[in-house]
């Protein structure tokens, strides 16, 4: 009786919004990194779907509509960039250098660690674009011969982890300037790092948004060099 | 709100067309972001046209990633087989990127007299 209802977008969207709202209440009450609302919500929904034996595709009827809104949300990042343009232009060179350094560090460390584990090439290539935003990472993975669905999963996990521990880790390292923290969050954890950064500081969030695009372009450009160097 | 949403979606669409046409390795939304910046700078759009829609999307950005997070369940087998290597590489590498980017940005910004 209920199964036709589960296939409508109403199910996926409502389930996501209600769970997220509850998870946010919990997070406001106990603001622990482990209780990050995105992770708690995703974990609860996975559990719920598995227990009731509802396939992911039926949830996706609604989930895809929320995912679609990521597109205009990325466009909207142009507004905070415009509002803080004077500060950005005065720091253009440090921005480009820092994001480039982060892009190289990401590719080298991710592939290097997997090499130490003795992982096979398919896995390494899928991991290489891990810090880049989902749509760009998928394109890169496809181009260099990675496993595309695996790359998509790694990118989301990386973003969740970076968004969760990023601000605390940055403060531990003495990175407190919203400009530097924003670039670090956007370069390491793309949209999820940016979302977290926007909650902390508006300007930092705008810098994180800028570094999503920059990191994507830089990684796409330099990754073939590193792939050629792989044993 | 509606005008803002129309502008955001319209610019994403223009971005998608441009990236496909010029075969750029970028998502259309990132190009749309740059177009919005350019349009505001050139005075084609006014801030209050896009403000409400942009605020709504940006203040709830994290929520929009939840479905992608749920999507991980589809690849559970593949991830379970390589979970140790994948989780060590993803977490350690993320910390390294945070440190490298954050430190160099802070150092360079200070050196630049800011």
**ipTM rounded to 2 decimals:** 0.89
Which residue stretches of chain B have pLDDT < 50?
Answer: 114
CA B16/CA A211 separation, integer angstroms: 20
Q: How far away is chain A from the Cα of B59, in angstroms, using its nearest Cα?
A: 7
Which residue stretches of chain A have pLDDT < 50?
Answer: none
A175/B102 Cβ within 8 A: yes
* Tens digits of residue pLDDT in A204-226: 998 998 898 889 888 988 998 89
Contacts of B10 in chain A (CB under 8 A): none
Lookup: tokens for A62: 């609604």
Round the CA-based radius of gyration of chain A to a whole number and report it. 19
Q: Which H/E stretch holds residue B29? A: helix B28-41
pLDDT at A178: 94
B53/A76 Cβ within 8 A: yes
Query: Torsions phi, psi of A119, nearest 5?
Result: -70, 155
Nearest CA in chain A to B70: A42
CA B10/CA A137 separation, integer angstroms: 24
B9/A169 Cβ within 8 A: no
CA B28/CA A197 separation, integer angstroms: 23
Nearest CA in chain A to B52: A76
Measured in whole angstroms, the distance separating CA A166 from the mean position of its chain's CA atoms is 12
Of the candidates B15, B70, B82, the beta carbon closest to that of A56 is on: B70
B112/A60 Cβ within 8 A: no
pLDDT at B114: 47
Contacts of A166 in chain B (CB under 8 A): 94, 98
B34/A217 Cβ within 8 A: no
CA B40/CA B44 separation, integer angstroms: 6
């Amino acid at each position: 009786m209920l199964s036709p209802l589960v296939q409508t977008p109403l199910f996926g969207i409502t389930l996501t919004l209600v769970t997220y709202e509850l998870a946010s209440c919990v997070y406001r009450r106990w603001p622990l990194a482990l209780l990050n609302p995105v992770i708690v919500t995703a974990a609860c929904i996975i559990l719920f779907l598995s227990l009731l034996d509802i396939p992911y595709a039926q949830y996706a009827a609604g989930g895809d509509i929320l995912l679609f809104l990521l597109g205009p949300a990325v466009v909207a990042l142009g507004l905070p960039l415009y509002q803080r343009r004077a500060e950005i232009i005065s720091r253009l060179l440090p921005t480009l250098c820092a994001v480039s350094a982060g892009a190289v560090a990401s590719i080298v460390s991710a592939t290097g660690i997997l090499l130490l584990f003795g992982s096979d090439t398919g896995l390494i290539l899928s991991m290489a674009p891990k810090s880049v935003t989902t749509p760009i990472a998928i394109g890169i993975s496809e181009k260099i011969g990675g496993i595309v669905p695996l790359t998509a999963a790694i990118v989301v996990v990386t973003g969740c982890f970076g968004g969760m521990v990023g601000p605390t880790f940055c403060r531990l390292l003495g990175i407190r300037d919203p400009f530097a923290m924003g670039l670090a969050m956007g370069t390491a954890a793309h949209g999820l790092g940016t979302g977290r950064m926007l909650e902390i500081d508006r300007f930092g969030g705008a810098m994180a948004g800028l570094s999503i695009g920059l990191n994507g372009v830089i990684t796409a450009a330099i990754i073939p060099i590193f792939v050629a160097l792989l044993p | 709100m509606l005008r803002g949403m129309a502008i955001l979606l319209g610019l994403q669409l223009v971005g998608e067309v441009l990236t496909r046409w010029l075969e750029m390795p970028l998502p259309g939304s990132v190009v749309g972001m740059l177009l919005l910046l350019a349009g505001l700078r050139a005075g084609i759009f006014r801030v209050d046209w896009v403000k409400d829609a942009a605020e709504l999307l940006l203040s709830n950005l994290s929520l929009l990633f939840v479905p992608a997070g749920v999507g991980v369940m589809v690849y559970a087998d593949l991830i379970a087989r390589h979970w140790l290597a994948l989780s060590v590489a993803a977490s350690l590498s993320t910390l390294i990127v945070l440190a490298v980017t954050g430190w160099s940005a802070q150092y360079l910004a200070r050196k630049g007299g800011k």
